[in-house]
Amino acid sequence: MIQQETLAPIYARYQQQNPNEVWIDVRQPEEWAEGVIPGVKKVMLADLEKTLPTLTPDTTYVLVCRSGNRSNQAAALMQKHNFSSLVNFAGGMLSWYKAKYPLEKA
C-alpha cells in the first residue's frame, strides 16, 4: 500500500530523521538545482527501475517530486517490485518551497 502524506506529516517525518527511512527525490537534475530536501537520495524517475536492485525492499521509502505525481508513479513502480513501505509526498517540493523548509543545493 502506498501511503499519501501532505506537507505537515511529511515535515514531521523529516524532523524525526528516522535512520530506517530513505528519502528519494525522483525529479530531474535541473529541478534538483532549485533545491532539494537535505539528505535525500536523488534518482530520476526514468532511472529508478534500474536502481531498485541496490535498494532494500523492507525499508520505508519516502518519495518526493515537484507536485506528487511522479513520486506516486515511483511508489507504484516500487510496489510492483515488492517494496511494501512506501510514502508519497502529496504536494511535493512546490509545497516544501512555499513553506520555506530547509533546502540544500544539488
* Residue 21 belongs to domain with CATH number: 3.40.250.10
Q: Is residue 105 part of a domain?
A: no
> pLDDT tens digits for 62-92?
999 999 999 999 999 999 999 999 999 999 9
101: annotated active-site residue = no
Q: Is residue 20 part of a domain?
A: yes
Provide the domain count of the chain: 1
Annotated catalytic residue, options 37, 65, 75, 86: 65
Q: Is residue 51 part of a domain?
A: yes
Q: Is residue 28 part of a domain?
A: yes
Q: Are strands 21-25 and 60-64 parallel, antiparallel or unpaired?
A: parallel
| pTM, 2 dp | 0.96
Domain that holds residue 36: 2-99
Q: Is residue 106 part of a domain?
A: no
Q: What percent of the chain lies above the pLDDT cut of 70?
A: 100
For the chain, count helices (H), then strands (E).
5, 5
**Nearest one of 33, 34, 11 to 23, comparing CA atoms:** 11
